[in-house]
Amino acid sequence: MSEWLPLVRQAGYLPLEDHGLIGDGSTCALVGRDGSTGFLCVPRFDSPALVCPLLDRERGGAFHLTVAAAAESRQFYVPGTGVLVTEIRSAEGTIRITDAMPLRPGSALEEDAHAGTGTLLRLVEVVHGRAEIGLRLEPRGGASLQRTGEDVRLTASTHGGELRLRASRPMPVWPGVTSMREGDRFWVCLQWEPGARPPHDADHVVAETIRVWRRWSDFLVQDVPHRDLVHRSAITLKLLDYFANGAIVAAATSALPERIGGNRNWDYRYAWVRDAAYTVFALRRIGLPMEAGGFLTWVLDAVENSGGPRVVYDIDGRLAPVETIDAELEGYRRSSPVRWGNDASHQVQHDVYGEILDCAFQWAATGGSFDTKLWERLRSLTEAARTAWERPDHGIWEVRSPARPFTYSAAMCQVALDRAARLSRRLHLPGDPRAWEMDAEAIKSRILSEAWDPDLRALTEHMSPGGGLDASLLALPLRRVLPADHPKMIATCRTVAERLDAGGGLLYRYLPAKSPDGVGGAEGAFVLCGFWHVDNLVGQGRIAEATELFERLCWYANPPGLLPEQIDPSTGAFLGNFPQALSHVGLISSAVLIGRADRGLEPELSTHAWFE
């Protein structure tokens, strides 16, 4: 159980790391250690924000349970679940808030499209002394309000429908205030689905939700270092999964800054092909293969409907909305602009070919099959990759400067051709595996010759002279483009670790001053890149160093076990959208590799035979 920590705000804002995540496969919410709801969009991940006080403490709306004179608190999950517990202590007493988005009894999270109930349920109990508890709900943009008995009904303009707030304890004034003594309990329920019914037994509803989560998490592998943290990462990834169709959003939030006061503030509530592919790969490695099939179907439908692969879609598989700037909100700790929508959906990024084909490969390696239509769609993407790799694009980091021939993009086209050839041979599927193999080998040779900088002693970001260092190239061994112990990969890993070092085991993904990206300004250290470094050390046989680095990176997780996109290396504060799927993917991947190495096993035996 986590330790008690003082409640401290920075420029009036609760720090990002002082939040946990709950969700139901349709949407999710950040819940603060102070009882606030820092970010909530309904009815879906990518809907307008109902409340987002993390983006403006005054104009971002509120859904708070407050404790008078609260001094310290702690936060943790019910083990094996997405149910969050927050305990808040004042001089007079201690209360416990149990937060959940209830799931339907008997739901199977790997295949149930409608497990959620459109409800946020908060159970409150005074566990010691007494407390004065305040209840406040103010949707962003305001709302008309009606009271009917114990119900508060609101029609919120940003939501476009009726919200219903119910409480088991009468609130004679609004916002509500109630005085409670030790042993007193009540619940608060916010519902947004039409026809939603109040919980007759809130404790039973939470208990059923716990059972549903544990049926799913019981399939997670056990023999990994930091097992509890690995399982928490898997549950976090599932909380970012849109159960209805298999889409997986990159993060739970929008516009949280990559540097305080900077302008790198993007909307991540959409499904990036790359991020989702990494996610299903991570889930498969720890015992959950079903998510790969759902994502593969979703992404191929999205590609077909959009007339070709795009890097990011909304969760319906349409192009993400065009970026807009919200002038009403000041941004987290006054870091503006606040953006909604994401223009990356209109960028060209050739790595998507490899992401999709590798996901198909992983799916097949664990027993998945392809009908004729599915294979033809994959084959069409393979043929496109044969020429796409030579053309400039905007790369994995989605630069907003002119397109360039990024090495990572070329490498992922190599992955597309390699996986298609192996699938065709292994499953006797129609195609030209010999030509695909030859093209894949040619791309690999070109990477080794054209991306290599003999002065830097590293592979660089571009398939041309003059490129800067790019930590994404540490992912090449993970995708089996090059082995981690290849001399040029060993040298690249060493140079990246030295020159992109942010301290404390963290790495910058690149240096904007040396690799201009069209955005400007500095950013934090990118969490995923540190885990990629761990994976390379394992592949080089440097297990003790990898384990030590892995331990340092795990230390950055907040008490509930969540990780952001980036970290301020000078303070350890969280930066960027939170929690970030790719950071948890990296933690899972490194834990699996270290666990296998400790047992003397190959890094990835479950698909090893497919590479012979």
Distance CA 570, CA 486 (A): 34
Question: Using one digit for the tens of pLDDT, what is the confidence trace for 56-95?
Answer: 999 999 999 999 999 999 999 999 999 999 999 999 999 9
Do residues 562 and 236 make contact, with C-beta atoms less than 8 angstroms apart?
Answer: yes
Look over the chain and give the mean of its residue pLDDT values, rounded to a whole number.
Answer: 91
Distance CA 254, CA 234 (A): 22
Do residues 53 and 38 make contact, with C-beta atoms less than 8 angstroms apart?
Answer: yes
Going by pLDDT thresholds of 50, 70 and 90, the confidence category of residue 609 is low
Distance CA 182, CA 304 (A): 59
The pTM of the full predicted model, rounded to 2 decimals, is: 0.95
The predicted structure's pLDDT at residue 369: 81
User: Is residue 466 over pLDDT 90?
Assistant: no
The runs of H, that is alpha helices, within 389-432 are: 407-427
The predicted structure's pLDDT at residue 131: 93
Where does 5-217 sit in CATH, by number?
A: 2.70.98.10
Least confident of 37-51, 474-488, 509-523: 509-523
User: Is residue 163 over pLDDT 90?
Assistant: no
SS3 percent helix, strand, coil of the chain, rounded to 5, is: 35, 25, 45
Structure tokens that stand for 128 in this block: 């010691």
User: Is residue 434 over pLDDT 60?
Assistant: yes
Where does 227-611 sit in CATH, by number?
A: 1.50.10.10
Give all strands (DSSP E) within 139-255, no chain letters: 143-148, 151-156, 161-167, 176-181, 185-191, 241-242, 247-248
Distance CA 233, CA 580 (A): 10
Do residues 20 and 31 make contact, with C-beta atoms less than 8 angstroms apart?
Answer: yes
- Where do the CATH 1.50.10.10 domains begin and end in the chain? 227-611
- Where do the CATH 2.70.98.10 domains begin and end in the chain? 5-217
Going by pLDDT thresholds of 50, 70 and 90, the confidence category of residue 606 is very low
Q: Is 572 helix (H, G, I), strand (E, B) or coil?
A: coil
Helices (H) and strands (E) in the chain, counts: 13, 28
Distance CA 47, CA 514 (A): 37
Question: Using one digit for the tens of pLDDT, what is the confidence trace for 295-310?
Answer: 888 888 888 888 888 8
